[in-house]
Amino acid sequence: MSAQGLVTQAKSLGLTLATAESCTGGLLAAAITGVPGASAVFGLGVVTYANAAKTAQLGVDEALLAAQGAVCGEVAVAMAEGVKRLAAADFAVAITGIAGPDGGSPEKPVGTVWFGLTGPDGSSAHHRLFTGDRDAVRAASVAFAIGLLGGAL
């Protein structure tokens, strides 16, 4: 699904969207707001790159971040739930991952990305391991998040 398709679908259903991003640094919000008329469905996108911002802006538990790190399903879900609450949106998606070229580990290699999705029926976490350079991982993450939101609507 494209950002255009997502906006069109959300408009037709009368639903609102919000995003929380870490490794993509606002690329998802930029893709959505690049669609004319997106303001009818998109009210808030936040970039919480640092853990302190995830806690302060989205309410992600410091203990969770300390225990699991920022790149995990629980943090992705907490980010999505936090931005959904802030925006009073129907659906929200969050992205947290390791885009590279540095920062990977054997447990969480470069390309590891977690997505949190939340809507009226609850929340879920989704994991992907993307290949390629930093730009490729970030682009694939945006495309996957758009597809997640579209599928949830």
- Residue 116 confidence (pLDDT): 98
Q: What is the pLDDT of residue 91?
A: 98
Q: What is the DSSP string of 111-149?
A: TEEEEEEEETTEEEEEEEE--SSHHHHHHHHHHHHHHHH
Domains and CATH numbers, the chain: 3-152 (3.90.950.20)
Tell whether pTM > 0.75: yes
Question: How many CA atoms within 13 Å lie on the side-chain side of 41?
Answer: 27
Write the pLDDT tens digit of every residue in 120-144.
999 999 999 999 999 999 999 999 9
- Say whether the peptide bond before residue 106 is cis (omega within 30 degrees of 0): no
Does pLDDT of 47 surpass 90?
yes
